[in-house]
């Protein structure tokens, strides 16, 4: 016997609400996950079951809806995740931008779905000193989930979170807490990043153009229609030869002729694209 009753109808309602709010598709196989994540909310709100929670959500949208969506998003990330992308940035992207952007001296990178910030901070570490000091290099980091974004902005990580970083990186970019349990990102690294809350399915307030967009391990939760729309919108906000990086299990169909595939889930916008 489960703690809270969750009927097929309750699950369908939840799946519909989540899909229309943020594009995340909750199939039957996600039922356990949805149960355990929302059970916490139900307990906290001292409600009796999922039906009561849905009623509560309906009557208290302003207070509860963000927490509802935050509970559903999956935020797994790490520093230098899919390290080949950061190697490509160093070996190919930076040299290319030093040529193509030499007149504007402007570089814009968007970490779309940045979760708790490891991705944009890894970008900032990679780009440090890569461009002359009179260049304007900025990273925009956005996520829908207000909890992870707050964590990203704070820039405080546990020893386990920074496990993959070497001693030189840790010394250079982090301040260790007195008890040795936490690592705080130094201001110097944070300066180049703007954190903003943004639902990818809604209007984007920024104009771009971006030289690189990382949308990694985000579209895996979307259906084809949502993905296709997003890839088109990314093409519109990318620079003429801008890059789009997806996550390791994500790909773009051949119909997206605005992009050339560079392999390893990296794509480049271009005239002679497929
Ligand atoms: C698994 S994390 C990926 C983090 C990082 N990009 C990486 O690859 O390590 C996916 C992130 O996408 C965000 N997300 C999901 N749907 C979104 C939407 N519609 N708009 C903005 N962010 C969304 C989630 O909140 C979550 O933090």
pLDDT digits (tens, 9 = 90+) for 176-189: 999 989 999 999 99
Asked if 164 and 239 sit in the same domain, the reply is: yes
200 lines ligand 1 (CB under 6 A): yes
pLDDT at residue 193 above 80? yes
Domain end, chosen from 72, 97, 123, is at 72
Asked if 60 and 103 sit in the same domain, the reply is: no
Please give the radius of gyration of the chain, using alpha carbons only, rounded to the nearest integer.
20
Ligand 1 atom 13 nearest Cα = 113
Percent of the chain with pLDDT over 70: 99
Asked if 49 and 109 sit in the same domain, the reply is: no
Q: Under a CB-based contact definition with an 8 Å cutoff, are residues 119 and 77 in contact?
A: yes
For 160-177, the pLDDT digits (tens) are 999 999 999 999 999 999
Q: Catalytic: which of 10, 81, 143, 216? A: 143
Assess whether 143 carries a catalytic annotation. yes
Across the chain, mean pLDDT equals: 96
Q: Under a CB-based contact definition with an 8 Å cutoff, are residues 137 and 127 in contact?
A: yes
Asked if 125 and 149 sit in the same domain, the reply is: yes
Ligand 1 atom 24 nearest Cα = 73
144 lines ligand 1 (CB under 6 A): yes
Number of domains in the chain: 2
For 85-131, the pLDDT digits (tens) are 999 999 999 999 999 999 999 999 999 999 999 999 999 999 999 99
| Omega of the bond leading into 180 within 30 degrees of 0 (cis) | no
Instruction: Please state the φ and ψ torsions of residue 238, each to the nearest 5 degrees.
Output: -85, 150
Which two three-digit tokens encode residue 203?
């209007």
Asked if 192 and 247 sit in the same domain, the reply is: yes
Provide the residue range defining the domain that includes 154.
83-269
145 lines ligand 1 (CB under 6 A): yes
Measured in Å, how far apart are the chain's first and last C-alpha atoms? 55
Q: Provide CB contacts within 8 A for 33, sequence distance 6+.
A: none
Asked if 171 and 95 sit in the same domain, the reply is: yes
Per-residue DSSP letter, 132: -
Assess whether 37 carries a catalytic annotation. yes
Q: Report d(CA 193, CA 190) in Å as an integer.
A: 5
pLDDT at residue 145 above 80? yes
2 falls within a domain: no
* Rounded average pLDDT over 12-34: 97
Asked if 91 and 177 sit in the same domain, the reply is: yes
85 lines ligand 1 (CB under 6 A): no
User: What is the chain's length?
Assistant: 274
Q: Taking the CA of residue 231 as centre, how many other CA atoms within 13 Å lie in the half-sphere pointing to its CB?
A: 27
pLDDT at residue 274 above 80? no
The closest of 264, 266, 77 to 164, measured between CA atoms, is: 77
Q: Report d(CA 167, CA 171) in Å as an integer.
A: 6
Angle at 266 between CA 263 and CA 267, to 5 degrees: 100
Asked if 37 and 103 sit in the same domain, the reply is: no
In this prediction, residue 1 carries a pLDDT of 78
Asked if 18 and 98 sit in the same domain, the reply is: no
Percent of the chain with pLDDT over 90: 95
Cα-to-centroid distance, 42 and ligand 1 (Å)? 24
Whether the model clears a pTM of 0.95, i.e. scores above it, the answer is yes
The CATH number for 60's domain is 1.10.155.10
The CATH number for 128's domain is 3.40.50.150
Asked if 116 and 246 sit in the same domain, the reply is: yes
């Amino acid at each position: 016997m489960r703690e809270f009753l969750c009927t097929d109808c309750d699950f369908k309602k939840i799946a519909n609400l989540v899909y229309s709010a943020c594009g995340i598709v909750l199939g039957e196989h996600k039922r356990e996950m949805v149960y355990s994540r929302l059970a916490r909310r139900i307990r906290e709100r001292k409600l009796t079951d999922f039906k009561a929670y849905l009623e509560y959500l309906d009557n208290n949208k302003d207070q509860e809806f963000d927490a509802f969506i935050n509970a559903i998003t999956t935020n797994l990330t790490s520093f230098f995740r899919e390290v080949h992308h950061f190697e490509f940035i160093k070996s190919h992207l930076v040299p290319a931008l030093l040529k193509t952007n030499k007149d504007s001296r402007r570089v814009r990178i968007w970490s779309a779905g940045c979760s708790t910030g490891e991705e944009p901070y890894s970008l900032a570490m990679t780009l440090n000193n890569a461009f002359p000091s009179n260049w304007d290099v900025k990273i925009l980091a956005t996520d829908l989930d207000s909890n992870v974004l707050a964590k990203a902005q704070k820039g405080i990580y546990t020893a386990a979170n920074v496990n993959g970083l070497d001693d030189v990186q840790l010394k250079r970019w982090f301040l260790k807490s007195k008890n040795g349990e936490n690592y705080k990102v130094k201001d110097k690294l944070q300066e180049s990043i703007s954190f903003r809350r943004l639902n990818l399915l809604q209007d984007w307030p920024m104009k771009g153009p971006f030289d690189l967009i990382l949308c990694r391990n985000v579209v895996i939760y979307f259906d084809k229609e949502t993905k296709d729309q997003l890839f088109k919108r990314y093409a519109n906000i990318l620079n003429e030869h801008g890059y789009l990086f997806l996550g390791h299990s994500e790909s773009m169909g051949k119909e997206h002729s605005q992009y050339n595939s560079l392999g390893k889930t990296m794509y480049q916008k271009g005239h002679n694209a497929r």
